[in-house]
Every structure is written in C-alpha cells, then in structure tokens.
Structure 1
Amino acid sequence: MDYLRTLGSAAVSTLVQKSGLNLPFSLGSKVAQVEAYYTLYDATKRDDGSPVSVFEYDLSDSSKKNIKTFAHNSVRKLRTTRHPDVLKFMDAIESDSTIYIMTERVRPLSSVLAHYASKSAQEKEDWLLWGLHRISVPLTFLNDQCVSTHGKICTSSIFLSPSGEWKLGGFELLSNPREDSAVLYTMGGLLPGSSAWAPPEVKKGGWSKTKESDPAAADAYALGLLLHAVFNPTHPTPPTAEPPHPPPAPSSRGAIPTSLFPHFKRLLNPNPKGRLNAKGFLEIGMADTGFFHNNRLVKVCAGLDNFALSSEAEKTQFLKALKESASSFPPEFASFKVLPSLISALEYGGASGATILPLVLQFGANVSPEDYPKLILNSIIKLYASPDRGLRMALLEHLPEYIDKLDKKAVSDKIFPHLQTGFSDTVAVIREATVKSIILLAPKLTDRLLNNELLRLLAKTQTDSEASIRTNTCILIGRLAPSLGYNTKRKVLVPAFSRALKDPFIHARIAGLSAFMATIDLFEISELATKVIPNMAFTLIDEEKSVRDQAFKVLQALVKKLEEYAAQMVKL
C-alpha cells in the first residue's frame, strides 16, 4: 500500500486517497535517465498548470538500497539551501517504491552541450564561461558560507533553466563535517560514478579524508574536471588524479581559453592545501581583466541585476551595449532572461523607459504568439497610463511593431482612454504623433469611439496652432472616411474638408482637396452637386498655383462623375 510521509520538514502538498497516492504534479515526457538511479521528467503542477521538473528516485530495486539515503539527503539539502543559482526546490513526495522531488523546470546540461558543439568557437566559449561563472558562485556559497562540500561537481549535477542559466543540483552527497552521519564522509564512494570526480586524496584514502580538510578542496578539483569536460568533451580526463599526478600539459589545453588554462591547472593541483578553490577561481575571473569579468553574458546579467541602482548614464551605456549585441545572444537567454528583466525595468519607470521599450519589442520578436500577450502586451498597455512624454512618444513611434497583436477590447477599453489625452497635450510633437497613430488604431476602435469621441477630438485638432497637425488631421479624416457610419459621413466629411480649404497653410488646403478627391465615391450624387462643388469652388482661384491646379483636378473628377449620372438621367 502506498503511503505518504514528509521528508524532514518539507511541505508536502499531497493527499492520501483510497486509490493511493495523489501527486501534486502530472508527469510529462521523460527527459533523461541519470546515472541509473534517478529519472528526470518534464511535468506540470496540478494546481496552476505551471511547468516543473520531477526527479524520480526508484527504490524498488533492492540492489540500489543506498539510493534512498542519497535521495533523502538531496531533498533535505535542496529544501534548506536557498540561492539564485541553486536548483529551486518546490516539493517532495515519498512512497514505498519511489521518492519524487519537484523543482523548477530545467533540462540537463549534457543535452545542451551537444547543441553548442555546432556553434562558433567564440559563441561556445562565451556560453561556457558564463555557465562556469554561474556554477562557481553557488559553489563558493556552499563551501564558504555553508562550510560544506558538494561532493558531486560534474555535468550530471548541472541543469539549465528555461533562460539558459546554469543551476547547481545533484545534492545527493552535500555534507557539512559538523553534521552527525553526514552522507559524504560515510557513503561518498557508494554513489555510482563518484570515482570520476574524486580528487587524488580521496582516491588514496577515501571520502572520509575530506572531513578533516578544507570543505572547498574536493569540490575545487571536481570543478577543474568539469571545466575540462565542458570545453573538451571528447578528450580523455586529465591524469592528475593518479600517481605521479602530472600537471596538465600545454598540449592538452584543447578548447580551454588561454587565459583560463593556468588557473585550470591550479584547480587540479594534487595537493589539496595548494589547490585553487572555487572562491579564488571566482575572484580571479571577476578581476578587472578576468575571464569572467569580460564575458559579455556575465556583463549583461550583472547589468540587468544592478539596473535599478545604476545612474542614468550607466543605464544608457548598458542599454546601448545590449542593443548592439542583442542578435548574438542565445535565444533562450534573450527571451527568458533579458526580456523579463527589461520588462520589469520598463514597468518600474524612469527616464530610460523610452530606450527600453524598443529593446523589449526587439527581444520579444521571438516570443510565441501564445505567450506574447502575457509577456509583452500587458506591460505595454499599462504604459499608456504613464505621464512620461518620452515613453508616450516611444509607444506611438513603435506602434506598427505591436498593433497587429492588440485586440479590439484592449485598444478601446485600456489604450484609447489614456491615448486621447495626447490630442490636447501642451507639447506639439505629442499631439502630432497622437494624430498619426490613429490610422493604425482606428480598426481596433468600437463604432461608438470611431464615430463620436474620436471625431470630436479631431475637430479640435483641425484648429490646432500647428499647421502640420491641422494638415495631418485632414488627411486622417479622409483615410478614416470609408470606416465611418453612413450618417456620420453625411454630417462630418464636407465640413471637415471645407475647413481645411480655408486654412492659411498651403499644404492643409491641398490636403482638403485631395481628401475630397479620395472620397468622391462616398458621397451621394446630390451631395456632389449641392455640397461638395459649392464648398470647393472658391479654391479654383486660390492665390497659390499648386492649390488651383489641385482644385481643377478635383472639379474635373466631380464633373465627370456628375456627367455620367446625368447621361443616365437623359436615357430614363
């Protein structure tokens, strides 16, 4: 009979029903079988459908009796270790035959390494150095602040989040020497594959030797082996662990960057007291000329994390660099790391908003149609309520990039109420940009907004102090005309175009005539003869030749239309 128990004090959100174990997740596809003692699955949480990962430890095989101890240690340590670069624990469930650990959605590093084999040397180096930085940070935390030894630093202990960030897992052996019955010192050699990352002192005297030494020593050696494994996956393991412990030869460097190789050798020092540890490795890498400090992905992550605290000058410089290198980022990094951080910065506000918005749209170009409204549009819609003029201008200038993804309800109910304030803004450039934006937004407006509120606003901009705004308003009304209701056309078009014909600005008068020309087919025949021609005839003797020329063209078109109709009247 299956039963449920809590592991340590972990909160377990499951219930025991008569039918057995009711799991808080639904298992999806199998992702990987790791070292023959656990299986990784994609899964979804039952309560909200969010993606998670599930590590399944099979306890049914009696030959794997130690696996239960390792799984329990992994649960206990994951539950109590909170660090941004450590695999995020969510839940744990145990039955007679299985232990499940639910975490954030991840995938094994090994499955992605193969993908990067086909990338350019520089892309691969940048990505691997970024990943090693993300592992060195939590490893330093475990060794230094937690005074613990991870005991299993290898590719199978590293997982990638949806954003491509490396997460440290594999806590089956994580131990503190002050703990009673710590797993590493008593059972470290029983974990399958543990000899592969064991340092020379462990191979000589067993894992119990690490209890009396620096907690960072064994992990530092394994970090050196990890570095070699990711840069040179097809090369044999360095022979430093076996007597006479020769240091890595320069000829064995392979794809390891030249700047990294001396420190790689120090990580593999057979003497644990002289070995470079993860903290020292991280400090060297983050120095002004260090291999981590100058890595573009490390820089971007640091810039995003510190963005809110940066000066405006620093923000501007960072955003410029981000734009210039955007196309070279790994797709998942751009979509799930950079983009959410930019959206968060955009919603926070500030003078950088106008610069951030185009980057959000640029990075959001690869977001799926299903995710775009939630990730991008919701934030953009909220921004229309901002009083910041620079942000408003950016929203209007980049409208063509997202207008097709906006639905009618969002435009009418959430955008237009804020947008209409732009028609009366004291800054002319905002008023003009608002007028120009309407041609894109109009198809998304309700009939009531289009035929009433909008036209009332445009009637005011037709008398704006700026000639270009008056001209653009006339052009806009002409382009909107086919979409207007029948009665609205009868009431609005002739007065609107006639007003433009009396404008002191030449181009406004030409725009009025052109609008009459473009909308001839929208008028009743009687309107052409009794309203249109009488209201435009005076432009035939306008003092400007360009206006007179346009007026005669319009009149010719009107007369031709009337002649065709009159010819039919004679036949009748």
Structure 2
Amino acid sequence: MFRFKKPECSIFVFEKRTAEKLHKPKRKETVTEILRASVKMLERFRHPKILQIMHTVEESSETLSFATEPVIASLANILAYQEAGGTIAGPPSTGASGHHCPTGVPRPAHAKEYSFLDIELKYGILQITEALSFLHYSGQVIHKNVCPSSILITKKGTWKLAGFEFTERTNETDATDPVPCQPWSTRTSKLVQPNLDYMAPEIQINSTCSILSDMFSLGMVICAIFNHGRSLIQSGNSPSTYLKQMELLDEAVHNILPRIPIPLQEATTRLLKKSPGARPTAQLLTLIKYFR
C-alpha cells in the first residue's frame, strides 16, 4: 500500500463582496475578470522566479480562489511591518526634505514580522530582475505593476513575481519602444488599476509604456526596501499629487542613496531616470557588481 503526501500550497481567496462598493455590476465583474486573466498568465509563464500555480481558478457566486506554491507573505506585508516600526529603527523618509512618516501609527493588520539578511535582499532583488528579464524577452510582456504587493516570498525564501493583472504586450519591433497604455484615473476604482506610487512617469504623462517602465518600478521597489518599506512617492491615489512628487523625485533619490548598498546605488539612480532610455534593461541589471 502506497501513501502519497499531498503537496503543500497557499490558497488565495477573493471575496466578491469586496468589489460591491464599486456599485455598477460591470465594474464588479471587471475585478474578477482581471483576476482570472492574471492566474492564466501565471499558468502560461513557467519560470523559477515567477509564482507557480498549483490549482487553477475555482469560482462560486461569492468567491474566486486558486492555489499556488507555499508562500509566507508578500513583500508588501513585510515592508508594512517595517514601516510601522517593526524591524528597523529610525523614521522612514519620503526622500523630500522636511517630511517623514508619523510615529506611533498602528501597525497594519496584514503586516508580517520578518527580517531580511543582506544576502536575502541581494538575491531577492536579483530574482525579480531575472523574472522581468524572462517576461520581457521570452514572454514579450510588460508587467506594468511591479510593486511590493506583486512580489511574494516563498517558504524557501525565494522571491517570486506575481500580480499579472495589468500586463501589456511589448512593441513587436523593439521591446524598449513604447506602446499605448492607460494612465491612472480617478474615474476608475483603484481595485482595477496598478499601484500609482510605483508607476513610471511616462505611463501617467504620455499614456505609453515599455519594458523600461517596469525597470522604473523596480527602482522604486528597491528604494522602498531600504526606506523602511515606504515608497518615495506617496500619492494617496491622486494623479495630481503623483505628478507634483514626481517633479521632486531626483531630490528624493539623492536623499535615500546613503541607505542603499554602494554597489547598487548607481543602478538605482539610473533605474529612476525620468527618461526611459536612460534606464538599464533587466538583462543589463543582472550584470552589475552588486549581484556578483
């Protein structure tokens, strides 16, 4: 008699009532459509640094669920703990002089206590860079929502890219050339839009994106990691606030650089250039000294 051990997994459940505040039935359905499409994308892209789906979407009138390889938290969960004063001393910075996160704020319910070793951060950032390289060149897809909530940490400590809800196809001729895309809008629920605080400026200003837009977002993630979990842009889901803070981004990057490992500083500065052509691709980023 043989006994088979069932593989361990993590189950994600979306309660459809979460979208009920959108009121309009079509908008409510849009949320579930986006989630279904995201899971299909994850199933399509099999790569060691992309989250593995173990059981496809199952849906009822009240929920939508699916199973993945075992994860302990998203990077957003862990950074939320740090931002609320968890594992690192000292106030986080917005990068702009004279402003910092208020102290004594209650820790978010979703925050997860977890401390990264320096080597975990190094290889975690590398793993997401490798996932983007695969996505951009083999998958010919722009992720368009690289942010802490789209990065999941597995039980083995591997960082996996997920959150494929807002992808765009790359330019067929050159993946670094822009393609049309939708900017962030207050007329649409934030539930069905990317994270504005990590969005590349060309998306909001020119309604275009490319693989280099993902690289800007990765640069913002790197800064948040070394800024106690706090993004350099705090838009509050306001496009006008986003644009005002984007004008001050160079100063913000300059102020945060001393917290970032020296071998990563130059690359981070280039990732956050407002001109897409000045940013390194994922392929080039994997070659920097920091990852050796």
TM-score by length of 1: 0.37
More helix by share: 1
Partner of 1:226: 221
Partner of 1:267: 271
Per-residue deviation, 1:85: 0.9
Partner of 1:276: 280
Contact 2:141 2:170 (C-alpha < 8 Å) held by counterparts: yes
**Is residue 218 of structure 2 the alignment partner of residue 197 of structure 1?**
no
Per-residue deviation, 1:171: 1.2
What CA distance in whole angstroms lies between the structure 2 residues aligned with 1:58 and 1:188? 24
Partner of 2:11: 54
Q: Which blocks of at least 5 consecutive residues in structure 2 are unaligned?
A: 23-27, 90-115, 173-179, 234-241
Read off the aligned partner of 2:143 and give its amino acid letter: H
Pairing of 1:28-427 with structure 2 (within 5 A): 48-60=5-17, 61-62=19-20, 63=22, 64-91=28-55, 92-108=57-73, 109-113=75-79, 114=81, 117=87, 124-177=117-170, 185=181, 190=188, 191-192=192-193, 194-206=195-207, 209-210=208-209, 215-233=210-228, 237=232, 242-243=246-247, 246=250, 248-284=252-288, 290-293=289-292
Residues 187, 72 of structure 1: alpha-carbon distance in 2 compared, 3 angstrom cutoff: farther
Residues 199, 81 of structure 1: alpha-carbon distance in 2 compared, 3 angstrom cutoff: same
Partner of 1:520: none
Q: SS of the counterpart of 2:255?
A: helix
Q: SS of the counterpart of 1:85?
A: coil
Read off the aligned partner of 2:286 and give its amino acid letter: L
Q: Which has the larger radius of gyration?
A: 1
What CA distance in whole angstroms lies between the structure 1 residues aligned with 2:273 and 2:183? 25
Write the deviation string for residues 265-289 of structure 1: whole angstroms up to 9, x where unpaired. 10001011222222221122xxxxx
Per-residue deviation, 1:49: 4.0
Per-residue deviation, 1:95: 2.1
Contact 1:77 1:174 (C-alpha < 8 Å) held by counterparts: no
Write the deviation string for residues 523-547 of structure 1: whole angstroms up to 9, x where unpaired. xxxxxxxxxxxxxxxxxxxxxxxxx
Q: For the aligned residues, what is the CA RMSD?
A: 3.0
TM-score by length of 2: 0.69
Partner of 2:113: none
What CA distance in whole angstroms lies between the structure 1 residues aligned with 2:87 and 2:262? 19
Residues 186, 94 of structure 1: alpha-carbon distance in 2 compared, 3 angstrom cutoff: farther
What CA distance in whole angstroms lies between the structure 2 residues aligned with 1:242 and 1:204? 11
Higher relative contact order at CA 8 Å, sep ≥6: structure 1 or structure 2? 2
Contact 1:128 1:231 (C-alpha < 8 Å) held by counterparts: no
Read off the aligned partner of 1:157 and give its amino acid letter: S
Read off the aligned partner of 2:36 and give its amino acid letter: H
What CA distance in whole angstroms lies between the structure 1 residues aligned with 2:162 and 2:266? 27
Residues 93, 150 of structure 1: alpha-carbon distance in 2 compared, 3 angstrom cutoff: same
Residues 236, 168 of structure 1: alpha-carbon distance in 2 compared, 3 angstrom cutoff: closer
Per-residue deviation, 1:101: 1.6
What CA distance in whole angstroms lies between the structure 1 residues aligned with 2:171 and 2:16? 28
Equivalent residues, number: 230
Write the deviation string for residues 38-75 of structure 1: whole angstroms up to 9, x where unpaired. xxxxxxxxx95432111222234331443112102211
Read off the aligned partner of 2:42 and give its amino acid letter: L
Per-residue deviation, 1:247: 5.6
Read off the aligned partner of 1:131 and give its amino acid letter: G
